[in-house]
Structure formats: structure tokens, C-alpha cells
């Protein structure tokens, strides 16, 4: 009952409340990023949602679109902007995903939506992370975030599926609040983003 009725209603109400409270900050960040990125402040990317169905995740644009001579994107640490770095460290780049929650594409708490290209690399158990809506924060995020190995992340995602409850979601939200304040585990050591998933055989 919780997952089918209470959680979706709670997600909608919490997302609406947080967007209302954060609206002045969101407008300010949009204006600053528009100036820095010459008009572009949104980052939209296709991610797998419930049952692997694609949706466009909404985030603040924290990196420049800069390419090398071969037309490949430069490494993250060369493209991230000073303002973007601050936004990432404060986890503010995730705020706009509350819009995804209002649209029913995401939940406040759930396994993080990864990249579409990873879908073909998952084993049967890893695919189960798509049995629920992806979340803005999750059990893996409050247990190490980007400093975790892929094996540990998937293990925690599956653990969340079996233990999902109002009590666990509340615990995750409280831990998320403190993690954001301390900015722990935002980036894997030496990287701006987490390492690329290459399949279970790479564990």
C-alpha cells in the first residue's frame, strides 16, 4: 500500500512544497548560469525510469560544452565552471529534479537513474532497480554516494527494494540532509563525477 498510494502522494506534496520554498534560489541560479553559459542554464539528459522507460532528467547545467580537436567532449574537470563546481558541491544541481517528481517520472527516494547506455550491461538482479521509480536521493547515496564501488551501489539499491517503507524513506531523507550539509561523498576522489560502469565482469 505504501509504495502504490502513500509514497506517490507524499512525493508530489513534498516536491511541490520544496519547489515553492526554493523558487527564489532557483531563479537566482538560472540567472547566474544564463550569464555564465550565454543563455543556457538547463541540462536535459535521457535516463531510464520505471521499467527502464526513458525520460528526460532535469538538472542545472554545470559544465561547458567544450570539445577537443577530434570532436570529443573534454574531461569533466576541464569543462566544469567555477559556479557549476559550487552548485555541485552544494548538491543544488539536483533541485530541478523535483519537476521530474511532479511529472511522475521520479520519486524523492529511490535508486538513482543512471545512463541509458548501461541498460545492456546489467545482469538480471541489477535490472530490478528499475522495478520502482528512480529517486533524487537513495539508500546508496546516504551510504557513500559516489565513493562507493558499482557492486556496492547495486547491492544497496536492491536492499532498498526489499526494505522500502515510510520509516526507511524518512531515514534516508534525514541522512541526505546531513550529507548535503557536510558535502560528503559528492565526488569520487580525484574525479568530478563517478567512474563509468563497464558491466558486472568489471567488478
The helices-and-strands tally (H runs, E runs) of the chain is: 7, 4
Number of residues written out for the chain: 203
| E strands present in 49-161 | 54-60, 107-109, 135-137
Provide the pLDDT for residue 37. 82
Cα 90 to Cα 79: distance, rounded to the nearest angstrom: 18
How far apart are the C-alpha atoms of 202 and 156, rounded to whole Å? 18
pTM score above 0.85: yes
Rg (CA), the chain: 17
- Structure letter (DSSP) for residue 129: G
pLDDT of residue 172: 96
Residue with cell 519547489: 19
Nine-digit cell string for 136: 533524487
| Structural domain count, the chain | 1
pLDDT, tens digit, for every residue of 123-163? Answer: 999 999 999 999 999 999 999 877 788 999 999 999 999 99
DSSP-based three-state secondary structure for 101: helix
CA of residue 154 relative to chain centroid, distance:
15
Q: At 190, is the pLDDT very low, low, confident or very high (cuts 50, 70, 90)?
A: very low
What pLDDT is recorded for position 79? 83
Q: Which domain holds residue 85?
A: 2-202
* pLDDT at residue 146, as a whole number: 73
pLDDT, tens digit, for every residue of 42-85?
999 999 999 999 999 999 998 887 777 777 877 777 788 888 88
- The whole-chain average pLDDT of the chain stands at 88
Position 201 scores a pLDDT of 62
pLDDT at 189: 45
CB proximity list for 23: less than 8 A, separation 6 or greater: none
The reported pLDDT for the residue numbered 40 is 85
Q: What percent of the chain has pLDDT over 90?
A: 63
Please report which confidence band the pLDDT of residue 192 belongs to, taking 50, 70 and 90 as the band edges: low
Q: Provide the pLDDT confidence category of residue 180 given band limits of 50, 70 and 90.
A: confident
Amino acid at each position: 500500500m505504501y509504495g502504490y498510494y502513500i509514497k506517490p502522494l507524499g512525493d508530489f506534496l513534498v516536491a511541490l512544497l520544496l519547489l515553492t520554498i526554493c523558487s527564489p534560489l532557483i531563479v537566482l541560479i538560472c540567472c547566474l548560469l544564463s550569464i555564465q553559459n550565454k543563455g543556457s542554464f538547463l541540462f536535459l539528459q535521457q535516463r531510464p525510469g520505471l521499467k527502464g522507460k526513458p525520460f528526460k532528467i532535469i538538472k542545472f547545467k554545470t559544465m561547458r560544452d567544450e570539445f577537443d580537436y577530434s570532436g570529443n567532449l573534454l574531461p569533466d574537470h576541464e569543462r566544469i565552471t567555477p559556479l557549476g563546481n559550487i552548485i555541485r558541491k552544494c548538491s543544488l544541481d539536483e533541485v530541478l529534479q523535483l519537476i521530474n517528481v511532479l511529472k511522475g517520472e521520479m520519486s524523492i527516494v529511490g535508486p538513482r537513474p543512471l545512463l541509458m547506455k548501461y541498460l545492456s550491461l546489467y545482469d538480471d538482479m541489477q535490472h530490478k532497480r528499475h522495478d520502482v521509480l528512480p529517486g533524487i536521493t537513495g539508500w546508496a547515496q546516504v551510504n557513500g554516494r559516489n565513493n562507493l564501488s558499482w557492486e556496492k551501489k547495486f547491492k544497496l539499491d536492491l536492499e532498498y527494494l526489499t526494505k522500502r517503507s515510510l520509516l526507511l524513506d524518512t531515514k534516508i531523507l534525514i541522512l541526505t540532509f546531513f550529507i548535503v550539509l557536510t558535502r560528503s561523498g559528492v565526488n569520487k576522489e580525484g574525479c568530478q563525477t563517478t567512474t563509468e560502469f563497464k558491466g558486472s565482469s568489471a567488478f
